[in-house]
Amino acid sequence: MSLFAIGVGGSGAKCLEALCHLHACGLLQSGTGQPLRLGTFLVEPDQQSTLLARAQTAIVRYDKMRALLGNKAESFARGELRNYGTWSPLSTASGAISLDQVFPKAVLRTQASGLAALFDCLFPPEEQSAELDVGFRGRPPIGSAVMSRVSLASEAQTGQWQQMLSDIQAAAGAGEAPTIHLFGSVFGGTGASGVPTLGQMLKSWLGELGLTSVHVNASLLLPYFDFEGQGQEGTGVHAEARNFQLNTDAALQYLRSSGTTCFDHVYLIGSDIKARYGFSIGGRSQSNAAHVVELLAALGLRHSLQPVAEDAYAYVLSRAAPNQISWNDIPDNEAVGQGLSRGARFAVAWLNNFSLELDTAQKLSMGAFLSGAPWARQFFQPSGKATGTQGGRPSIRSTEELNLKSAIDAYSETLLQWLNQFSSNTGEGFNQELFTPSLLQRNPSYENALSRVVRGSARPTKEERQDMAEDIKVRMDKLSPKEIPHNGVAGLADTLWSLSF
């Protein structure tokens, strides 16, 4: 089964970042437990956005790691991912970066003077001339105007949508029931305008093609952050926190009246306790840390994989304690907790211990290295020869193995960064009982204690003294060859993944 995730705007990109990590943690599976194919597509006019770059980094690093892993893993990074890239709604407007370039007023006046007057009525001069290469500046009407010019029928023939739309068609044609899931905020500019518009376009396009088996769902983010400062006089049109509620009200009213024309199901997630981000108009300066709300939004896609009541439309979530979120507040917390816990513990153990061990192995003879690391002989040839294999085990110094190690390092660092951000960025007076942020960092100290990485009910029920990286090494060393189907760095990562929880 195929899933197609579309992240719209900065918050949408952050949701796709969360979704990529959920997929890596094996949390997007079919009913039979098989990992699903996930396609990702980012819609963002602000091509310099740090949030977009972060989502792309997570996707690209996971994709690269998977490509280098190939079929050499049984449980680690099983989920297939297809990156459809990034698309800007401004890219169809022949280089136009402001509303008055997208809808040239001179042309409007000569061809339809009434429309020109309406244009002036709807958009004040500063909105008409605002450069949109930093996004739609927190103004949904601007975004809606730009987005509504997109024709999916023509995009399906050429352009960046082409590959994804043809894959959706192919999946539906093959008898699958693919799901398209859109992510975005309803209180900003790009997401609020883009998600419903794109949802409606996709539904219409699917209807025209008779692809009724395709579900179109959305995770819509309600306000969950505030800005610490605000734009200066020269900033121009910009997103303002005081408009968030107004934008949200408008979006929810639209959903109530016309929601079913855009989506089959929606997941509405926000937070009464707001995270505080520094003000940014967009671009590279907008580096809002990841937030648990984005994880919950991504889990909406996971929820839609389970049988849902046809008449149900909107799903909401609540938490048990007013000032705290714990695993019990996470939907399907047992499976999700185990998956994320395994991912976090793997990333800490890999990046802060096993990877460092492999670095040390490059400076020692294999015999000397093995004398302190007997587990390594299960995956690498004990003779340590630079080329060739012995008993199927590659050399610990082989370039291929080191490339894969670097790819796993890079992805693990991204995963840790995301976990660290969302577990430390909770908002004032609000606690999380999910992870210990201080341990979710890369450090060269050969982290041994894994018991405190995860908090609460998702923490493995092992004694603290028995829950160390060294215990995993001992267990690796005891495995019989039959229990280690793959050798080299891939086999090591795969085994570590299995033993991490």
**Residue 360, interface with other proteins (CB under 8 A)?**
yes
Positive or negative: CA dihedral 32, 35, 39, 40: positive
Q: In the beta sheet, which residues pair with residue 276?
A: 226
Strand ranges for 54-178 from DSSP E: 81-87
Least Cβ distance, residue 248 to other proteins (angstroms): 49
Q: Which residue stretch of 35-43, 176-184, 342-350, 463-471 sits at the interface with other proteins (rule: CB under 8 A)?
A: 463-471
Q: Does 477 bind other proteins (CB under 8 A)?
A: yes
Span near other proteins by CB under 8 A; candidates 3-11, 143-151, 446-454, 455-463: 446-454
- Told to check if 460 binds other proteins by CB under 8 A, we report no
Q: Does 367 bind other proteins (CB under 8 A)?
A: yes
Nearer residue to other proteins within complex by CB, 107 or 474? 474
CA dist 269 and 218 (Å) reads 11
Span near other proteins by CB under 8 A; candidates 50-58, 136-144, 332-340, 371-379: 371-379
For residue 470, state whether it binds other proteins (rule: CB under 8 A). yes
Residue 64 is a binding residue for other proteins (CB under 8 A): no
Residues 6+ apart with CB under 8 A from 473: 373, 374, 375
CB of 448 to other proteins, least distance (A): 4
Which residues ranging from 391 to 430 are in contact with other proteins (CB under 8 A)? 391, 393
Express the helix, strand and coil content of the chain in percent, nearest 5 each.
Answer: 50, 15, 35
- What CA–CA distance (Å, rounded) separates 248 from 223? 8
Q: Which of 410, 411, 417, 458 is nearest to 434 (CA)?
A: 458
465 binds other proteins (CB under 8 A): yes
Distance CA 197, CA 193 (A): 6
CB of 362 to other proteins, least distance (A): 13
Element (H, E) at 457: none
Q: Is 369 in the site for other proteins (CB under 8 A)?
A: yes
Q: 148, 446, 483, 485: which one contacts other proteins (CB under 8 A)?
A: 446
Contacts of 184 (CB under 8 A, 6+ apart): 7, 8, 9, 11, 12, 15, 190, 191, 192, 194, 195, 218, 220, 221
Closest CA to 460 of 414, 413, 412, 499: 499
Q: Does the footprint of other proteins cover residue 378 (CB under 8 A)?
A: yes
Decide if residue 485 touches other proteins (CB under 8 A). Answer: no
Closest CA to 346 of 17, 76, 79: 76
Question: In this structure, are residues 239 and 189 in contact, taking their beta carbons and an 8 Å threshold?
Answer: yes
Which of 286, 473, 488, 495: binder of other proteins (CB under 8 A)?
Answer: 473
The contact mask relative to other proteins for 261-290 (x = CB under 8 A, - = no) is ------------------------------
Rounded CA separation 423/436 (Å): 7
Residue 489 CB, nearest approach to other proteins (Å): 16
How many other C-beta atoms can be found within 10 angstroms of the C-beta atom of residue 454? 28
Instruction: Pick between residue 382 and residue 456 the one whose CB is nearest to other proteins.
Output: 382
Q: Which of 382, 437, 456, 460 binds other proteins (CB under 8 A)?
A: 382
What does the block give as tokens for 21? Answer: 């990590």
Amino acid at 46: D
Q: Is 62 in the site for other proteins (CB under 8 A)?
A: no
Q: Which stretch binds other proteins (CB under 8 A): 87-95, 150-158, 350-358, 414-422?
A: 350-358
Query: According to the binding rule CB under 8 A, does residue 447 interact with other proteins?
Result: yes
Q: Does 368 bind other proteins (CB under 8 A)?
A: yes
End-to-end CA distance of the chain: 27
Specify the 3-state DSSP secondary structure of 439: helix
By CB under 8 A, residue 448 contacts other proteins: yes
Looking at residue 220, the DSSP 8-state letter turns out to be E
Q: Closest separation between CB of residue 484 and other proteins, Å?
A: 9
CB of 447 to other proteins, least distance (A): 8
Contacts of 108 (CB under 8 A, 6+ apart): 115, 116, 119
Residue among 375, 422, 435, 501 that touches other proteins (CB under 8 A): 375
d(CA 395, CA 410): 21
Q: 169 vs 448, which CB is nearer to other proteins? A: 448
Residue closer to other proteins (CB basis): 206 or 351:
351
Place of tokens 């049988």: 307
Query: Which residues of this chain interact with other proteins, rule CB under 8 A?
Result: 353, 356-357, 360, 367-375, 377-378, 382, 391, 393, 445-448, 465, 468-470, 473-474, 477-478, 481
